[in-house]
A and B are shown apart, each in its own frame.
Chain A
Amino acid sequence: MKQYEGLPNTGSENNLAELSPLQRTERLLQINMAVLVILATSLLAMGQQNIIYAVIAIVASLIAIVVTDIKGYFRLSPDATTFAAVFACVILVVQVIRNAEQSQLLNVANILIYLEIILLFQKKRDRTYWSLIALSLLQVIVAAALNLGLMFGLLLGVYVIAAFSALMLFFVLRETRPFIQHSMMPSGRRSATNRLAASDLTTQGLAGQGSAAENQALRMLNDFDASSWQDELDDDVTRRARVDFWSSMPETTVNQLLNRSFLRRLARMVLTTGVATILIFFALPRFSNTAWKGARQESVATVGFTEEVRLDAIGRILESPEQVMRVEFSDLHGRPYSIDGEPYFRGTVLPEYKGGGVWKQASRNTSTFKRLNTQRSFDLASTVLQNIILQPGSHSVLFNVTPCHYVSGSDTDLQLNIGTGQLTLADHNSRPQGVLRYRLGTTGFRNGWQRDLIPARSTRASRDITQRDVKQGVVRNQNAALSNVADQVIQSNGLQNASAFDKAKALENHFLRSGEYKYSLEINQSRNRNVDPIDDFVVNHKTGHCEYFAGALTLMLRSQGIPARMVVGYKGGEFNAVGNFYIVRQLHAHAWVEAYVPHDEIPTDEIDTAESLPEGAWLRLDPTVDTLDVVMSESRLPIVTTITEFFDYCRVLWDDYVLGLNAARQRQAIYRPLGQAVMKVGRSLFSPTSWRARWANFLELLETLLNRKLFGVPWLAIIAVGCLAMATVLYHRRHWIGRQSQQLLRNIRSAGQRSKQRSDRSLAAFHQLELILKNGFQLERSEQQTPLEYSAAAAARLAEDEQFAPLRDLPRQVAEAFCQVRYGNTPINPDQHHQLLEAIKRLDAAVAMRVAQG
């Protein structure tokens, strides 16, 4: 079946302004289609990580617009198109054979690109436009499976706007073209198309639009060639609908659909689609906990708590703002307890170094757990309460300021690992479900400062430490370079025979004070993979994040025979001075070191009088350089840093809430809060307890108002008098208020009818004229008289009288305005209406004077 091939193009109208409205619409559509192809191919190229396809699409689209669409120099015939499509399929087969290991998705992507480029060089028909839209959609689908980056999401938004715009332009073209074509079809051809159509009258109708429209129509009629009309005979619209009569429509009608409202509709569509997409995306249930990770994409590394450490991430590590917990410190009386410095919230203890930068927890079989509520009593005088609200997460460890102990009022069943001091739920295999609230006491603070020494729990624990956490010989063998550096530090400080405490402090200072080490979240890809990452860090590049620093210090301590372990948790947080709480986010995740110091090696000034540390203590050491991202910030402008941080934030959101939305996260972040909110509202509305509480609050408020006084008068009385006064005023002004409300409603309703009122005023002006002429000149309009005839008669009558001769044109003006409004359905403008009214007033005054003169 042949289709209509679009409007004929003489090639002379290259400028959009020179084109007829229909041709302009088609040209816009062609440009829009080219943009669509470029965007879809770019998305695909991003997925394939092969920018050459995007470049090819841009070049091909531009050439196609100029050469095929505008100039018409080169157009692929249907046979050539078929041959090209077959050739593309052959290329696909060759690619499949040659690149057997390549993903089949990529092969599909390539064939889509080839087919699109072939279609671009065809003469554009309805089917071509549809095919281009469909192919671009398929490209985006394939690209979505290949690419998971944030840029894909941003480009997808642009693509959606371009696609909607293309669809709307295509709609305008398809809907208006049959009617406009029929208007411009030569009469002989039209009668062949449809014996029953009107030809001569249609042409007259077009000519009636004015000289410009007439010239345009004639020009376009001359532009048509016989073959295009032959194609239109087979137009599927005509064939399928079997339409016998088509109405005539001027081409300018297209402008009614392509004006500012077009953009409004486009914006409305984009917004509605955005909302619908968000709802569908978050409401559609997921069934597994593993979201698609992409065909080629590597996951983005972010700062955050993990239960094991792997120093293998390369590239930029992002800081996630996801909230982890809220912590509130108070004393036993409930008063806020202020902390100096950033508190350390202890999480997982990682004593096992597996080599290759991997740190793991100790085996649970060797751990000893103890219920928290069975612990021995603590020094209540130095106890600080910590109220923690932990957000849902995929880890089992509970964070706290250590050492911690049970306090009354905590209903959460917790247990403590005696060896590591790690806190978990009583069933240590379970993970916290939903938001977890727990309350603990801690003696880790003295005068607002967090203590560095953490008491060791038992002798058995100390013995375990010597076996598990030292491994001096192993470290010296496996990390010889690191051990040499540690030796040099100890020797340079003359601490060969010093206590473990001094050695540990010296090694910590080596990182903090030497100035050789730099903190960075951007891990250089050129690192030597054959060397242990920690050795590499200490000896070679000396740049890394907290896990590098903590790992290095741990191994260096062990190389000196000091038991040490890496601890992962959170440091600091965003302190809210109003609420006296800390908001701890993933970006506050931190790693530090705990070194075991026997009782006899602890300096006496470090030992608190209240606690003698008989089993020794774990000394917290934080070797991480305090300067954040020194390397990057040195080389960047502030605005660049801000933009980078903004995009980092967007990437994190994209990664967490778009790509990472799996069943568990959906349940935790959407379904459960939603369900809880509904339940809460339900309980609040229907629970007798809540209503009793409200009533009690109300009574309490009343009582408060009764007790509080202003100049000796209870507040309740003042409020009651005020309410009474207001009610009295409202009652007395009720009619005025009612009138004002009705007026407001009328104004709102009549806003859309103002043009109609203007029309009515014009009609009224004519009737007023009739009345004046009837009273003044006994000139009454007969039923057969048209307004113009009547005005002519009135003009003749006025011309006879010298007094009214200057007003003889008035009846004609009023009659013309009347006809314009009554029959043309076009309101007159306010100025014209004002002039008419003035003239009628003059006539009325003259008539009144004449009557008075007798």
Chain B
Amino acid sequence: MAQRIRIAIPKTTMTYIVILAVAVVGAVMREINLLIILAGMMSGPLLISRAMIRSTLRDLKVKRKVPRSVFLGAPCRIEVSIENPRRRTDSWALVIEDQLQNTTHRRREKRSARAFLPHVARGQTGTARYEARLWTRGRYHLGPLQLTTKVPVGLLQGRCQFLHRDEVVVYPKLGELLEGWSTFSRFEHTGKQSSRRRQGPVSGDFYGLRDWRSGDNRRWIHWRSSAKRNQLVVRQYEQQQNHDLMLLLDLTWPDDAPGRSNSKTPVDDLTVERTISFVATLVAQHCSRGAGQLTLCVDGNHRLQVRGPASTGVMNDALEVLAELDVQARTQTPDQVDAQDLPSTDFSKLPPLAGEDHVIAVSIGRFDWNRWIDPRDPTSSNYPSQAIAVDVTDGSLDRFFHVEGIDLSPQTDVATQNERNGSSPLVATTPSNTSSRGVER
């Protein structure tokens, strides 16, 4: 919905206004008729600017086309359509100013974008596009969108704001699992691998088709569809019961000084980003195979669980959860310690673990199983023994995971600004009200 049109005088126009004032004062004081004429001539552009700006911005309708999600650092193309429903007048020189604000990350940085639309004819729709590369994970709100114009001579600026919002989720950046990861995971699983023969993907329920990727089994290729599309496509199956992957990510750490602002995370921001990127890569890799179940349990500023067959839909849900995840300090006061360290009732119950399932537990510091499983539940007792634990504080992540392009420099800028304002962005400021939600698949 558009707000009313506001017209302002830009700073550059002040010179013009001052000269006009000189002409008017001279004309009135000395009754110089020629100066009155000159003042009238100088007023003309201001009057017509006001009229043309109103005519240009009146009744415009704006629609924004935004992708639902985008990976961190990837180009996010946003299309803004402006409809001019008027019958008589065109719109000229529209500058579109859009706002993008990260609403979930602790650094709620705000970005602005500009696009230009030279002309929208009467009864027509014009489209402008801009593209952004967003370097912070999370959910971004787009809007309010602002249309400005200085038509026809730039002496006045008209502004009209459209309040409707859209959102885009920026997933963590995907990295590359190195050879070390295979070695590490095999080493961790020595003696635990199932002797049961793995069934092929065709034994599950048909879920859909996807493009063929390097490494896909040729038997998965759906030849008829490939012929029709003139490119290789493979079948995807769900409900693969075997070789499920369970990812547990713990981004909390015990707070030594509860209530004090100088409590520090045991890892830096870059490590946190790399950790989340690592988990996201595991999720994407597992879902790209299209086999087995995926369970992702995270604990940080949110406590959530995503579970479902390894598919694009589940991958999107999992990546969305990871996009909004951040570190969180755990309060260690005596009266809170029990409630915090017990398995959260907000989690859906961890699924029973089969012998061939993979469990990967990633954490800041040592993984505290007592917070995740109920010792009284016999079905979850084999989690610790079957899991591969990755502690990101010991630097082991570098051995089996590599990711490029996570550049925190802009964030550093923001951090500096915030520190100047008195609050360090490196300190979690929302310790207790962690809203938890579960996503069941």
Q: Which of A202, A242, A247, A261 has the most CB of B within 10 A?
A: A247
Cβ of B43 within 8 Å of any chain A Cβ, yes or no, is yes
- Quick one: given A269-B48, A276-B44, A281-B40, are A243 and B114 in contact (CB under 8 Å)? yes
Measured CA separation A167–B44 after assembly (Å):
13
Indicate if A257 sits at the interface (CB-CB under 8 A): yes
Tell me which residues across on chain B come within 8 A of A753, comparing CB atoms.
123
Q: Are A280 and B40 in contact (CB under 8 A)?
A: yes
A contact residues around B37 at 8 Å (CB)? 144, 153, 156, 277, 281, 658
Quick check: which of B151-159, B308-316, B363-371 contacts chain A, the rest being far away?
B151-159
B42 to chain A, nearest CB (A): 7
**Could you tell me if B31 and A249 are in contact, using CB atoms closer than 8 angstroms?**
no
Q: How far is the CA of A770 from the CA of B147 in the complex (A)?
A: 42
Residue interface bits A88-118, CB-to-B below 8 A is 1, else 0: 0000000000000000000000000000000
Cross-chain contact B132 with A257 (CB below 8 angstroms): no
Q: Are A749 and B150 in contact (CB under 8 A)?
A: no
Which A residue's beta carbon lies closest to that of B23? Answer: A141
Separation of A138 and B20 alpha carbons in the complex (Å): 9
Interface string of B95-113 (1 = CB under 8 A from A): 1110010000000000111
Q: Enumerate chain A residues within 8 angstroms of B23, measured Cβ to Cβ.
A: 141, 144
Q: Known contacts A196-B410, A244-B111, A272-B47; decide if A292 and B132 are in contact (CB<8 Å).
A: no
Is there contact, CB below 8 Å, between A280 and B43? yes
Bound together, the chains give a CA A202 to CA B132 distance in angstroms of 11
Q: Is A395 an interface residue (CB 8 A)?
A: no
Neighbouring B residues of A370 by C-beta, 8 Å: none
CA distance A274 to B92 in the complex (A): 23
Sorted nearest first, the 5 A-B pairs with minimum C-beta distance are: A273-B44, A277-B40, A247-B115, A245-B113, A247-B130
The count of residues in chain B whose C-beta lies closer than 8 Å to any C-beta of chain A is: 67
Chain A residues, Cβ within 8 Å of B130: 245-248
Partner of B132 from A147, A244, A256, A268 at Cβ < 8 Å = A244
Q: Which residues of B contact A272 (CB under 8 A)?
A: 44, 47-48, 51
A171, A176, A268, A276: the one within 8 Å of B116 (CB): A176
Q: Is B45's beta carbon under 8 Å from chain A?
A: yes
Taking CB atoms, residues of chain B closer than 8 Å to A147 are 34
Among A133, A245, A257, A658, chain B packs the most CB atoms within 10 A around the CB of A245
Contact B41 A247 (CB under 8 A): no
Q: How far apart are B153's CB and chain A's nearest CB, in angstroms?
A: 4
Q: Tell me the bound Cα distance from A140 to B23 in angstroms.
A: 10
Query: Does the CB pair B114–A287 fall under 8 Å?
Result: no
Q: Is the beta-carbon distance between B87 and A749 smaller than 8 angstroms?
A: yes
Tell me whether B38 and A140 are in contact (CB under 8 A): yes
Any chain B CB within 8 A of the CB of A435? no
Question: What is the 8 Å Cβ interface bit string for chain B, positions 366-380, against chain A (1 contact, 0 not)?
Answer: 000000000000000
Q: How far is the CB of A706 from chain B (nearest CB, A)?
A: 51
Given the known interface contacts A196-B132, A272-B47, the answer about A265 and B34 at a Cβ–Cβ threshold of 8 Å is no
Near A by CB (< 8 A), chain B positions 21-40 give: 22-23, 26-27, 30-40
Considering the chains assembled together, what is the distance between the CA atoms of A291 and B100 in angstroms? Answer: 60
- B59 on the interface (CB 8 Å rule)? no
Q: Is A571 an interface residue (CB 8 A)?
A: no
Which of B11-19, B271-279, B348-356 lies at the interface? B11-19
Q: A141-B35, A277-B40, A659-B33 are in contact. List 8 more A-B contacts (CB 8 A).
A: A134-B15, A145-B30, A172-B93, A174-B154, A243-B114, A244-B132, A245-B132, A256-B119
Q: Is the CB of B123 within 8 A of A269?
A: no
Q: Is B133 an interface residue, CB under 8 A from the partner?
A: yes
The answer to whether residues A170 and B154 also contact, given A247-B129, A292-B31 and a CB cut-off of 8 A, is yes
Q: Determine the chain A residues whose CB is within 8 A of the CB of B127 once the complex forms.
A: 825
- CB contacts (< 8 Å) of A287 on chain B: these are 31
- A201 to B45 alpha-carbon distance, docked (Å): 39
- Contact between B36 and A280, CB atoms less than 8 A apart: yes
Q: How far is the CA of A274 from the CA of B131 in the complex (A)?
A: 44
Identify the closest chain B residue to A202 (Cβ): B131
Per-residue interface assignment for chain B, residues 68 to 102, with 1 indicating a CB less than 8 Å from any chain A CB and 0 otherwise:
00000001010000000001001011011100100
Inter-chain contacts of A662 with B (CB < 8 A): 31
Across the interface, name the chain A residue whose C-beta is closest to B42: A137
Contacts of A178 in B (CB 8 A): 114
